[in-house]
Structure 1
Amino acid sequence: MNNKLNAISTFLHVAEAGSFSEAARQIGLKQSAVSQQIAALEEELGVVLLNRTTRKMALTEQGQRYQRDMQPLLEAMREAESNLSPGDHQWQGKVHVQLPSGLGQLFLPHLLNLQKANAGLHLKISLDDRIADLITEGVDIAIRLGSQPPDEHASRVLARVKIQLFSAPMFSPVYSPADLPALPHIRFSGIMHDAPLRLISENETVDVKVNTVFQTSTSEGLLQALQAGIGIGGMQLPLVTKAVQAGTLIPVLPDWKLPDRFLYVVFPDARFIPHKVRNVAGVIEQLLPQIAGLL
């Protein structure tokens, strides 16, 4: 039984590391021993978990399913064993957190302080606007911004995020949404170039055709383009607080806003969420009141 558990643990290391050599280095075994454990596990299960060549390896469909099913079970067993020992284990072990690039910059200093205060904790922080595959990339917590919750994973709403139009101070004044089509517009590259801009006031909602002249895949790129005076664009309020205070950005049509988006915390598997993961997610949630404009 113990040999099988070791083989399962080795398989999960290989799946996460993406190579036999890196997994062997991480767990302190020879590469040949790692290969033997995986081969024995595959023989016992009667399936191929990994396709390997001389240059690379990849999970088979059965391997992906086995990784997805076994990861939470092995985590649960380790946590149950750690709870038998005296001492505080709430800040022990590796936690991989993915955050949107813009909002992630606001959370990062606080997460660095959490790391400094807890030597047993090993944070891996990814600041990334793309939607990661939580299972294959080993993400424990994803903080995502969207108009609706993800379908494939357990999630809950953390906050509502307001979005308004901004421009550099020297930019042409705008008095109504009808002025926007004649002016250059900036937006995220994930939005279709010719998609209409939806604006909402207290009494009405309008869709405006805008002249998109610049697109970028990150919040930082969008912020710099706005400050450079390239055009008008929508920004999440928490990300422009400093720029507005410094006078490098000003609100455009302050009585109008873009549709609100929601900040979600997402976990790869709701069946088992380790204490260390819940604790880091709790810290992120507690930080929300300190992030200007989120609530």
Structure 2
Amino acid sequence: MHTLVYDDITTAADRVAGHVRPVALAGPTEPGGVHLALELMQHTGSFKARGAQNFLLAHREAGTLPDAGVTIASGGNAGLACAWAAARQGVPATVFLPATAPRVKVARLREYGADVRLVGTEYAEALAACEEFASETGALASHAYDHPLIAAGAGTLLDEIRRQVPGLDTVVVSVGGGGLFAGVATAARHHGIRTVAVEPENCRALDAAVRAGRPVDVTVDSVAADSLGARRASATAVRAAQQEGVDSVLVPDTAIVRARQTLWDDRRLAVEHAAATALAAVARPGADVPDTAYRPAPGETVCVVLCGANTDPTDLVAP
């Protein structure tokens, strides 16, 4: 298996330049403090556009992009990014989702021209159907997170943040299967920046894998499961989590819901629960956060990645 290295990320950055939106940052009101990386403003509404572009452009360069197009299993965001990138390359996309996927994501997929297939109730079931489809049709099988090109594309985010936040000490990312985390942690380690990996208490594939010393299956039950509901973390993510300079935090659903509402109340940002998961892990002055939260040292400069906005905002309560 390919070991993800920083050179993979710089190669990806060169490849996707001009194809993805540079991340926008929202700064803190005090020196140091907590910055927000607004990756929810990325094409297709999440960071997944970076990995999808890197994956398809790399196959286009290598001449390995088949006429049958590309197929992927997804909780929603990776499928959206894959369908969007495939449309840019003029090839069809067949996307497998659990039947429980949010309707807003299914509708967007169809707008991108994807052939949408709803299978089972968990990501793992959709993945099995996707793999069968790829073997039968010859379609190129992409992955929501467990592929070096996908993780490297996601990792391009870190250098963009670092250029805008001088003296960055720590980056905080939510984790599902671990593609974003693996890419960001690889780039962060190259620059001596700490990575905080955040999972819902009941979607803890990475935490369980680190404890076991290898990827293991976990149960999935969280308000953020539509994006963070991977049953198993990637081996690449587990290796990244076992390196120095990585902290792991688990947060309850109540904290995730509260952080999501706070982003709406304070900044009018409507984010999905996966994005709020990262913010829920950071202790801020006056905020009600879990005892397990990451507590920045005085003067520590932190950036929280708000990874996506593909959500139904009707449950956000106006203050």
TM-score by length of structure 1 reads 0.27
Decide which structure has greater helix share: 2
Decide which structure has greater strand share: 1
Q: Whose Rg is larger? A: 1
